[in-house]
Amino acid sequence: MAAPDSIKPFSPEETQRILHHLQQPAVFMNMTCGWPGLRWTAEHLSECLGDKPVRFRLGRKDDETKTPLFETQCSYVEARLKHFLAWTRGQTGTDVGPFCGYPISEYWAYADYKYIAMLFQDQPSMFEDIKWSEFGFEGRNGRESTLWIGTEGANTPCHLDSYGCNLVLQVQGRKRWHLFPPEDSAHLYPTRIPYEESSIFSQVDVLHPDLRKFHAFQRARAHVVTLQPGQVLYVPRHWWHYVESVDPITVSVNSWIELDVDHIARVSEAVTKTVVCALKSTPSDDNTDDWLNPTEEGVGTHTENMQFVNLALRASAQTQRTLRLSKHNPDSRDTCPVKRDSRGQIRTHCDGEGEPEPFRVPFGPHLIPVHCQQEHSPETRGVNFEPPRNCDVKSQEGGVTDSSKELQKTELTSADSSDTTESRQCDGADVKTPADTVLTTNDLLDCLVHPDVIAVVTKLLLDRHTGSYRTATSSSL
């Protein structure tokens, strides 16, 4: 007979079905009981890693300039976890190693994006401590995950991930997540500077927004949750998120889940990289900024970048052909990915006759929706939700965020383009663009590689590539 703590509220098959239909962030409760990974405190990881150095990003705590603190603006040190722990305890001198020049009263530290497969390549048994297989992803564990260790105040700038969806396990301490739906992208002022493949950053400091400059952010619908140890947060595709540590030490593990639609995103990312590198690698008076994120290995030549564009186009065409074939194969109906694009109503459970029945996500004590709200509902008991400042309560029904009707049409212009109503006044002051304003290369890029523009370019390229493929195929017959 199974031990009580090993009984999970959802089976792997049930969890897969839930993830397939979730259209908003949600917190899974009581799904990680018995996971060895819950022992991965900073102290435990220090013992496991020993003298192996880990790279930490450091930022000032008093930064309230109303601009995001991007990774290009941070300091970096290579240190052992025992140095990090001594530093968090207020020790000084040789005990803290490279942290000695950064008083903990003034700085936060973050070891982010650490691939577990590389950290513990000589201890592969640790991969089994993370059991994503219990969420229905057979064979997925710590090998396909990343580790995050930080101090209070450590944060990731607001961004969206171009690929996949995200599962996040909180191990130690608490982290507060500020999430915004994809439909609010125009209100987040997207930018690709600094450039990082698969990350689209927001120009807005979501905690201290400059509403004179980013007036449309007032319409962004924040969904805020503080994730507790043992809980797992699901972040759907293309949801914006700003993440901050709120306890002295935090540890979390995440895994990005690949989706079928990623083949199109890879084309978009290849196009974006080609355009950004072409313009930013060209010497000019205003190309003196640190535009390449430290996570990127290098720029690459234009020839290399164009090769990636062509490879992505060919791979996308092949994936589309495979998907079309699978749709005509009755035996493949149950092999579709765990998550689809969030638009439209999804129906399942055909009974063989008539219309299929709608699947209802089983929100309750074991699955908590993260939604924009003013008051806690009974089903949010056990999860620390924060009432967001920017909240359109009327758009919430049953814990599910409605898509913003005003943004259903594609907006090819950025949110700070001419909006006579909004730009006329903000906080009682006129907001006007001086006639003599000089646009920079980054300003140009914000328009050229705006997600809406790149989406159109990607479609044109895919259509052209498909047409060329059909012509070549016909001529060879």
Average pLDDT over residues 36-61: 97
pLDDT over 60 (residue 374):
no
Mean pLDDT computed over 301-306: 97
Could you report the per-residue pLDDT of 88-127, keeping only the tens digit for each? 999 999 999 999 999 999 999 999 999 999 999 999 999 9
How far, rounded to the nearest angstrom, does the alpha carbon of residue 339 sit from its chain's CA centroid? 15
Strands 232-235 and 26-28, by their bridges, are antiparallel
Q: What pLDDT does 450 receive?
A: 97
Secondary structure (3-state) at 147? strand
pLDDT of residue 355: 57
- Say which range, 192-201, 210-219, 264-273, 351-360, has the weakest mean pLDDT: 351-360
Mean pLDDT of the 51-77 span: 93
Q: Are 13 and 134 in contact (CB under 8 A)?
A: no
Mean pLDDT, residues 207-235: 97
**Res. 307 pLDDT band, cuts 50 70 90:** very high
User: Which residue, 72, 266, 70, is CA-closest to 162?
Assistant: 266
Distance, CA of 428 to CA of 376 (rounded, Å): 33
CA distance 450 to 413: 8
CA nearest to 141, candidates 36, 218, 43, 50: 36
Least confident piece of the model among 23-27, 205-209, 388-392: 388-392
> Which position has the higher pLDDT, 71 or 402?
71
pTM of the model: 0.84
Give the pLDDT confidence score for residue 337 in this predicted structure.
Answer: 37
Taking the C-alpha atoms of residue 262 and residue 267, their distance in angstroms, rounded to an integer, is 9
Strand partners, 59: 108
User: What is the pLDDT at residue 62?
Assistant: 83
pLDDT category at 322 given cuts 50, 70, 90 is confident
pLDDT in tens, 284-299: 999 999 999 998 988 8
pLDDT at 372: 87
* Whether the predicted pLDDT of 375 surpasses 80: no
SS3 26: strand
Average pLDDT in the 364-389 region?
A: 66
The secondary structure element, H or E, covering residue 316 is helix 302-327
> Sign of the C-alpha dihedral, residues 358, 361, 363, 365?
positive
pLDDT band at 371 (very low <50, low <70, confident <90, very high): confident
